[in-house]
């Protein structure tokens, strides 16, 4: 086939070249500088509070059992006084919805304070960084150590750091599993080297996840793995609290000596020391404006305040503020007045309704649950003594901490006789604390005493201790 002169020219003019486009961006390790200040103090308060709760609560006892235990094997959730069954899933769902809505509300008002102060990823990164700085030294020393060639001193520090990290991570994994398996038994199994394979797997799994996320991945988790970081912008508006750099005051930035008077027209308050970048756990420069990587930890605000103090300038070049407050130069009072805006009021109203609904339903919740099912394996039949019998299976779940006794009565049909299989004397059914029990119930009527068909009946189960009654509807079948 003949080619046109033009195509020959273009083939010659463009040499074929292999172009590699890499989708992976190599990350530079971040060495956050240690910082002390108002927000850092609050961050450590939150680290202590969350960790005291996490490591302490599984050891708290309530009567003869663990106070907070999600016992998956026994299908029971113990929340202090409350005992929840899988049938109570509605309460757990409500708690999850309330938690999610609270996060929405909190984010609309205060931005990413959850990320900066209480998120486990931030908290564990903070702890791991603290261990790292205690063993390897501050930012500059750590950087030098990493750049230096291998030596006995370097090896010793690295082994020391990783050993403490691993021990801490394993204890974290153990504690986490202790929320699902009674922690005292788990501890006894651990000390006797007799922990079950699944418990061992989950301890190692969560331990490894803590070690990897807080020791190595750190800000990568917030930037690339956390879904909350992605959808939070939908909850932000111009009145949401964020860490901001006051550009009007700070620019034009420039270095200067401490005691040199500057012409405020030539230089702003930012002395371009870059300390705000050095302390940032996600390695960003807040002076470039709000970025999705910012977790709102306030470390840059703390360090900038110390710089402003040293320079004798007013604090707050980097501070928590809102976009509207910065743009319109609002006072703190004006900024706070915007908290009660429609979005916040709607979230608050829904949240209040849900919380009230949950509390009321927990308040009126009967301390036992009952399920009655017609035994489909047994057809209605005529017994030897001329009675027509229907068989039911009844499950009673005792959601209290004491053995309870229940009395059964059935209404809806005249002359109905009740026979209970495997029940105690006087047709009383005893159920142990936080346990459930199945009982077979035979209902009998004299044959021919009612018309053929389906007849509605009502089971009434009364707790003899609590005097509470639960009713369950069912049907009694009479064959033609």
Q: Among 109, 276, 391, 441, which residue sits at the site for ligand SF4 (rule: CB under 6 A)?
A: 276
113 binds ligand SF4 (CB under 6 A): no
Q: By C-beta, is 272 or 435 nearer to ligand SF4? A: 272
Find the shortest distance in angstroms from Cβ 15 to ligand SF4.
46
- Which region, judged by CB under 6 A, interacts with ligand SF4, from 40-48, 161-169, 275-283, 386-394? 275-283
Binding pattern for the stretch 56-95 against ligand SF4, x by CB under 6 A and - elsewhere: ----------------------------------------
298 binds ligand SF4 (CB under 6 A): yes
DSSP 118: I
Contact yes or no for 267/254 (Cβ under 8 A): yes
Q: By C-beta, is 322 or 404 nearer to ligand SF4? A: 322
Contact yes or no for 276/318 (Cβ under 8 A): yes
- Parallel/antiparallel/unpaired status of strands 387-398 and 381-382: antiparallel
DSSP 243: E
H helix or E strand, kind and range, residue 208: helix 197-212
275 binds ligand SF4 (CB under 6 A): yes
Q: By C-beta, is 68 or 243 nearer to ligand SF4? A: 243
Tell me how far apart the alpha carbons of residues 347 and 339 are, in angstroms, rounded to a whole number.
Answer: 12
Q: Among 271, 397, 423, 441, which residue sits at the site for ligand SF4 (rule: CB under 6 A)?
A: 271
Instruction: Tell me the β-bridge partners of 70.
Output: 77
Those residues with Cβ within 8 angstroms of residue 289's Cβ, 6 or more apart along the chain or in another chain: 245
267 binds ligand SF4 (CB under 6 A): no
Q: Among 127, 229, 286, 387, which residue sits at the site for ligand SF4 (rule: CB under 6 A)?
A: 286
207 binds ligand SF4 (CB under 6 A): no
Instruction: Tell me the β-bridge partners of 242.
Output: 321
Q: By C-beta, is 44 or 187 nearer to ligand SF4? A: 44
- Which region, judged by CB under 6 A, interacts with ligand SF4, from 7-15, 264-272, 338-346, 414-422? 264-272
272 binds ligand SF4 (CB under 6 A): yes
Nearest to 62 by CA among 175, 190, 173, 184: 184
H helix or E strand, kind and range, residue 421: strand 417-421
Find the shortest distance in angstroms from Cβ 133 to ligand SF4.
16
- Which region, judged by CB under 6 A, interacts with ligand SF4, from 73-81, 121-129, 286-294, 370-378? 286-294
Tell me how far apart the alpha carbons of residues 477 and 479 are, in angstroms, rounded to a whole number.
Answer: 6
294 binds ligand SF4 (CB under 6 A): yes
Q: SS in 3 state form for 33-95?
A: CCCCCHHHHHHHHHHHHHHHHHHHHHHCEECCEECEEEECCCCEEEECCEEECHHHHHHHHHH
Find the shortest distance in angstroms from Cβ 142 to ligand SF4.
18
35 binds ligand SF4 (CB under 6 A): no
Find the shortest distance in angstroms from Cβ 29 to ligand SF4.
16
Q: By C-beta, is 174 or 320 nearer to ligand SF4? A: 320
Q: Among 211, 296, 347, 394, which residue sits at the site for ligand SF4 (rule: CB under 6 A)?
A: 296
- Sites for ligand SF4 among residues 307-336 (CB under 6 A): 307, 317-318
The residue ranges of DSSP E strands in 278-355, in sequence order, are: 318-321
Tokens of 475: 């049907």
241 binds ligand SF4 (CB under 6 A): no
Contact yes or no for 298/40 (Cβ under 8 A): yes
Those residues with Cβ within 8 angstroms of residue 30's Cβ, 6 or more apart along the chain or in another chain: 218, 219, 280, 281, 282, 283
| Buried b / exposed e along 121-143 (16+ C-beta atoms within 10 A) | bbbbbbbbbebbbebbeebeebe
Q: Among 109, 221, 280, 443, which residue sits at the site for ligand SF4 (rule: CB under 6 A)?
A: 280
Q: By C-beta, is 168 or 313 nearer to ligand SF4? A: 313
Tell me how far apart the alpha carbons of residues 84 and 91 are, in angstroms, rounded to a whole number.
Answer: 8
Tell me how far apart the alpha carbons of residues 146 and 136 are, in angstroms, rounded to a whole number.
Answer: 10
178 binds ligand SF4 (CB under 6 A): no
274 binds ligand SF4 (CB under 6 A): yes
Q: Among 157, 161, 287, 369, which residue sits at the site for ligand SF4 (rule: CB under 6 A)?
A: 287
Find the shortest distance in angstroms from Cβ 251 to ligand SF4.
10
- Enumerate binding residues for ligand SF4 (CB under 6 A): 243, 245, 250, 270-276, 279-282, 284, 286-287, 294-300, 303-304, 307, 317-318
């Amino acid at each position: 086939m003949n080619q046109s002169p033009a195509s020959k020219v273009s083939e010659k003019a463009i040499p074929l070249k292999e172009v590699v486009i890499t989708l992976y961006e190599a990350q530079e390790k971040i060495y956050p500088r240690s910082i002390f200040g108002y927000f850092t103090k609050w961050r450590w308060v939150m680290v202590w509070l969350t960790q005291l709760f996490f490591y302490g609560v599984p050891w708290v006892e309530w009567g003869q059992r663990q106070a907070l235990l999600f016992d998956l094997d026994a299908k029971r959730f113990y929340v202090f006084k409350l005992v929840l069954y899988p049938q109570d899933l509605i309460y757990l769902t409500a708690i999850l919805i309330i938690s999610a809505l609270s996060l929405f509300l909190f984010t609309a008002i205060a931005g990413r304070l959850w990320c900066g102060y209480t998120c486990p990823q931030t908290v564990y990164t903070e702890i791991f960084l603290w261990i790292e700085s205690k063993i390897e030294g501050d930012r500059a020393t750590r950087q030098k150590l990493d750049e230096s060639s291998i030596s006995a001193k370097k090896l010793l520090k690295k082994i020391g750091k990783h050993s403490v990290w691993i021990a801490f991570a394993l204890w974290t994994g153990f504690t986490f599993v202790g929320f699902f398996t009674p922690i005292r038994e788990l501890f006894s199994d651990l000390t006797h080297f007799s922990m079950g394979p699944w418990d061992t797997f989950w301890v190692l799994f969560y331990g490894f996840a803590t070690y990897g996320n807080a020791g190595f991945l750190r800000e990568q988790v917030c930037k690339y793995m956390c879904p909350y970081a992605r959808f939070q912008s939908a909850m932000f508006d111009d009145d949401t609290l964020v860490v901001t750099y006051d550009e009007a005051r700070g620019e034009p930035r420039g270095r200067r000596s401490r005691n040199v008077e500057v012409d405020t027209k030539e230089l702003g308050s930012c002395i371009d020391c870059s300390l705000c970048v050095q302390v940032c756990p996600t390695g960003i420069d807040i002076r470039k404006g709000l970025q999705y990587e910012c977790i709102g930890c306030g470390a840059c605000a703390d360090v900038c305040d110390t710089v402003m103090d040293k320079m004798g300038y007013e604090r707050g070049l980097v501070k928590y503020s809102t976009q509207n407050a910065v743009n319109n130069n609002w006072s703190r009072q004006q900024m706070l007045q915007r908290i009660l805006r429609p979005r916040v009021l709607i979230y608050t109203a829904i949240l209040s309704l849900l919380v009230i609904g949950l509390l009321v339903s927990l308040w009126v919740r009967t301390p036992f649950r009952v399920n009655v099912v017609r035994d489909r394996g047994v057809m209605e039949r005529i017994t030897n003594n001329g009675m027509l019998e229907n068989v039911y299976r009844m499950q009673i779940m005792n959601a209290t901490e004491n053995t309870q006794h229940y009395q059964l009565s059935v209404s809806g049909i005249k002359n109905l006789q009740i026979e209970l299989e495997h029940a105690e004397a006087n047709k009383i059914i005893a159920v142990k604390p936080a346990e459930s029990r199945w009982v077979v119930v035979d209902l009998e009527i004299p044959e021919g005493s009612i018309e053929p068909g389906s007849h509605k009946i009502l089971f009434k189960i009364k707790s003899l201790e609590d005097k509470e009654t639960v009713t369950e509807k069912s049907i009694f079948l009479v064959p033609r």
